[in-house]
């Protein structure tokens, strides 16, 4: 794909991503309140909804990766967006536990399919030199949409009027349909025969063996396995809590209102928008593992601020300020990760298994997000907030340790080490990596 056409395709991907994120901002922060209070189904049903929403990944992602590699990201993303739209619409009208859980499954399955499809589109529309910037822009645009949606949604939410929440979920369904429409025009470069052969060389498999060696190739990739273990902690300690445990802690333990919760999410988004491009320049000159270590340090401070807010619970300015600080610090850490994780997966993946690597990474993310609410909402709902904060702090420290242990498993190129030189590009923006092939063959 020529540079201009590729840039146009990437813009459509980013616009579609922004629209779906805007819709998500209307609903994700208020799912717990909607299920537990508005529908009166209780905190345990809310916990089950979050868990089912995330565990839907276990069903769909094993098929998503091979589908991306075989059919390309566009049709796979369309299917995911349609599933998510149906799930969101049903969720907004659900009044019983069974219906809300079933809708959460459809909702989660569709949203899960969309993630690796969008990541694959970004990789195929960019070269390695611009990839970190593209992922950072994608993350910034997504969070801007999420934050604006949360701010507007917070002003619409009224726990005494179920129709206000129904409206929000209907808007999200429409945004997923908009995502399918906008990205449906994207025609990225396919992985041609030359790229496939290059990918086969990277994986150590002959072209005829590729179809039956995808999982073996990934599991033999020790760096990818270690990265997935690290990502599990990242998504468990932040993203798995941000949309569930932290919301429950903020409203239940600290005692802030849903509208103030929306302001916290807005502060998180503002931090990302203001810092992201600065962080991209910062991380461009440093190892990716260093950026992950810095993220752990920032998030540890975020949990300390949340603990302070809990000690001063109520409506005092200090308590509210503590939670606002928590959301801002989470945003700083997220900005550090945006240009780091996606490009790292892309550099690890053989060309013909890009979709499978992205899907595997998304599977780890969703499992962690499933376990996040299971720990967060369950502990906070049981009145064990101090134990919850201690567990999250310990997880964040372990995150730092694993990031340092990952470093020796990466090549200088994969870790973005100073002085690392990228090989010349092949077709469709793929990179030949002879050293990587030798490592995988010996694994």
pLDDT tens string 223-247: 999 999 999 999 888 777 776 778 7
Dihedral of CA 126/129/131/133: which sign? Answer: negative
pLDDT of residue 308: 86
Contact 244, 373 (CB under 8 A): yes
Contact 265, 258 (CB under 8 A): no
Low-confidence ranges of the chain (pLDDT < 50): 1, 191-213, 424-443
Query: What's the mean per-residue pLDDT of the chain?
Result: 79
Provide the whole-model pTM. Answer: 0.73
Give per-residue pLDDT as tens, 148-178: 787 788 778 777 788 888 888 898 899 899 8
pLDDT of residue 181: 87
pLDDT of residue 124: 80
pLDDT of residue 213: 46
Closest among 336, 318, 276, 325 to 303, alpha carbons compared: 325
pLDDT of residue 423: 54
Instruction: Reduce the DSSP state of residue 431 to 3 states and report it.
Output: strand
Domains, in order of start, for the chain: 3-184+212-418+429-442 (1.20.1250.20)
Cα 189 to Cα 73: distance, rounded to the nearest angstrom: 11
Cα 95 to Cα 107: distance, rounded to the nearest angstrom: 16
Per-residue CA distances from 421 to 128, 414, 418 (Å): 11, 10, 9
């Amino acid at each position: 794909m020529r540079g201009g056409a590729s840039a146009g395709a990437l813009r459509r991907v980013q616009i579609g991503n922004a629209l779906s994120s805007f819709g998500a901002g209307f609903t994700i922060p208020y799912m717990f309140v909607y299920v537990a209070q508005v529908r009166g189904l209780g905190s345990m049903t809310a916990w089950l909804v979050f868990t089912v929403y995330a565990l839907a990944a276990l069903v769909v992602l094993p098929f998503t990766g091979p589908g991306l590699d075989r059919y390309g990201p566009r049709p796979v993303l369309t299917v995911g967006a349609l599933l998510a739209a149906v799930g969101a619409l049903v969720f907004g009208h659900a009044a019983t536990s069974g219906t809300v859980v079933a809708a959460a499954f459809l909702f989660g399955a569709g949203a899960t399919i969309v993630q690796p499809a969008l990541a694959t589109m970004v990789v195929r529309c960019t070269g390695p030199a611009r990839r970190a910037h593209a992922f950072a822009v994608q993350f910034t645009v997504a969070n801007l949409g999420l934050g604006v949606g949360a701010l507007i949604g917070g002003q619409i939410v009224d726990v005494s009027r179920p129709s206000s929440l129904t409206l929000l979920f209907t808007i999200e369904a429409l945004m997923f349909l908009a995502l399918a429409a906008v990205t449906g025009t994207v025609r990225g470069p396919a992985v041609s025969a030359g790229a496939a052969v290059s990918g086969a060389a990277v994986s150590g498999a002959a072209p005829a063996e590729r179809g039956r060696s995808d999982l073996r190739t990934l599991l033999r990739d020790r760096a990818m396995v270690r990265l997935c273990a690290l990502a599990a902690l990242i998504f468990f300690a932040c993203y798995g809590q941000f949309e569930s445990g932290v919301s429950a802690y903020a409203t239940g333990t600290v005692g802030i209102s849903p509208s103030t919760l929306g302001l916290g999410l807005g502060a998180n988004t503002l931090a990302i928008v203001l810092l992201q491009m600065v962080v991209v320049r910062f991380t461009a000159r440093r190892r990716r593992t260093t950026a992950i270590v810095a993220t752990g340090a920032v998030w540890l401070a975020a949990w300390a601020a949340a603990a302070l807010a809990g000690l001063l619970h109520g409506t005092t300015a200090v308590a509210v300020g503590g939670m606002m600080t928590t959301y801002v610090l989470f945003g700083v850490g997220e900005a550090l990760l945006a240009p780091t994780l996606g490009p790292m997966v892309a550099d690890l993946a053989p060309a013909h298994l890009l979709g499978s690597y992205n899907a595997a990474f998304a599977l780890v993310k969703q499992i962690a997000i499933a376990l996040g609410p299971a720990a967060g909402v369950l502990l906070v709902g049981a009145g064990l907030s101090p134990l919850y904060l201690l567990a999250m702090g310990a997880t964040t420290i372990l995150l730092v340790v694993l990031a340092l242990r990952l470093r020796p498993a990466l090549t200088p190129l994969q870790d973005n080490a100073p002085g690392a030189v990228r090989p010349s590009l092949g077709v469709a923006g793929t990179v030949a990596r002879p050293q990587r092939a030798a490592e995988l063959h010996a694994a």
